[in-house]
Amino acid sequence: MRLFKRLDFWLIAGFILAFFFILPFVPVIDGDTFYYLGKARRILATGDLFNSQQLTTKPVLGMWFMALSLKICGLNLFGVYLWHTLFAAGTLWLLYYFTRKHFAQRTALCSSAILLTALMFFYQIASPMLDIPMLFFLLLGQILALEYLQTEKPLYLYGLGMAAGLGFLTKGLLPAALPFLTAGVYLIVTRRERVWRTGLGQQIVRLAIAGIIFLTLCSVWLIPQFQNHGAKFGAALYSENIERFFHPIDETGGYREVSSGVQIDPHLNILYLWLGFLPWSPLIIPAIHAAYKNKYFGRRPEILFMLCWFFLVLLLTSVSGHYKGPRYLLPLFPPLSILCGAFLTSSAANKYAKPISLSFFWTGFVFAGLALALPFIKYTHGEEVYLPVVLPFLICFTICLFGSAWLSRKNSIAQFTIYGALISYIILFTCASAFLPGVQFPERYVNPQIRTLK
């Protein structure tokens, strides 16, 4: 049947299979998930919607969504995953809608598929926390910012104020500030070409209204916290959103990382991006290069806006050396997915066929070596319990990379890589649901295992 040859059919089917039929059987073992789960359960138990009785720097919107999901579905894996999965679907829909409007349906489909199958995005969908909801509101804010810059319709700017407020209520300053920062960089780059139809005074009034909308939404959480905790809350909020970003201080598993100054680690950032954006990492440099030259896509403001977004986040994250690097690079993924989607659906990809093929091949070679080495490594903390989950995934993922290397010279790389990545992830979740519930963790992992929902 022709239906089974359609990429959009397989994307929807793969998403539903992985996130609505496989994930609810995979135990949650990420400590951060249990932190937010505890907050959501406290909201349900006490009725304190704002978690204001305890000083916390984590905004409440994500906990509200999780609490609502648990209220509807009960305290089970499906209830834990549901709200997060819906935000992931919403993020993909936003990306598809924007790209179809400004490019073409084929480009939109390819860009959405690239985002869905990027390793860190797919992993984060399977880890119910605040990163995916944050990405949803960030993407919404960036879309509204660009629409306003192109049309100067005030409703887009007011919508941006609302998206920034909801982003702040989800995960603090980053999703609130980034759309405005990106728009500022874009305005600086295009200052010689831009002609404003609206006067400066009217622009200031519109910005003031957007700011009022933003502050009104933020006050829903900020005012109760300040009322109960005063200056301590302000200091903690500054530490969480500013100091912790530029001077990373975090603690996990008894290990404490302390930075005495700003950490500038662009080399680690590039490595994290390469790992997190697999299997599409071999396209990053060619896609950015082709977009920068700008003759393949035409002089399109959308491409320039995506480049401003990409390089701004890359710069900001390069001065925040953090062990959670791949996860913190998620704000890079939407613009990069659009750039790679536009690249693959244009004639530009043919000019880079050989380096792309070699990059896929050597990436696959590294993964093949990793898959061969893992069974022979001597583990000291019981990590070998994950081998039945990780090895089948690595083998399938390696085949995907080698196949992409071979097909990249035949201009049929996109569909094969998408299918290969989806199959790899479905194998990963299937093995996780089969093996992880019976895992007996060593003593240092006993407490997380006790908390694991099955």
Q: Contacts for 4-9 with beta carbons within 8 Å, 24 or more apart?
A: 7/109, 7/113, 7/415, 7/418, 8/109
* pLDDT digits 0-9 by tens, 55-91: 777 788 888 898 898 888 887 888 888 888 999 999 9
Cα 336 to chain center, whole Å? Answer: 11
Mean pLDDT of the 322-331 span:
72
DSSP 258: E
| The most confident of 69-73, 120-124, 144-148, by mean pLDDT | 144-148
End-to-end CA distance of the chain: 38
What residues contact residue 417 under an 8 Å CB cut-off, 6+ apart?
A: 117, 279, 280, 400, 403, 404
Omega before residue 301 within 30° of 0, cis: no
| The most confident of 94-103, 252-261, 296-305, by mean pLDDT | 94-103
pLDDT at 450: 46
pLDDT at 216: 92
Alpha helices in 345-411 (DSSP H): 353-373, 387-407
3-class DSSP assignment, residue 107: helix
Residue 132 burial (CB count, 10 A) = 25
Give the residue, 328 or 100, on which the prediction is more confident. 100
What's the longest Cα–Cα distance across the chain? Answer: 69
pTM of the model: 0.88
Alpha helices in 192-264 (DSSP H): 200-229, 231-238, 244-246
Distance CA 163, CA 169 (A): 10
Give the residue, 365 or 222, on which the prediction is more confident. 365
pLDDT at 436: 74
Residue 13 banded pLDDT, cuts 50, 70, 90 = confident
Residue 104 banded pLDDT, cuts 50, 70, 90 = confident
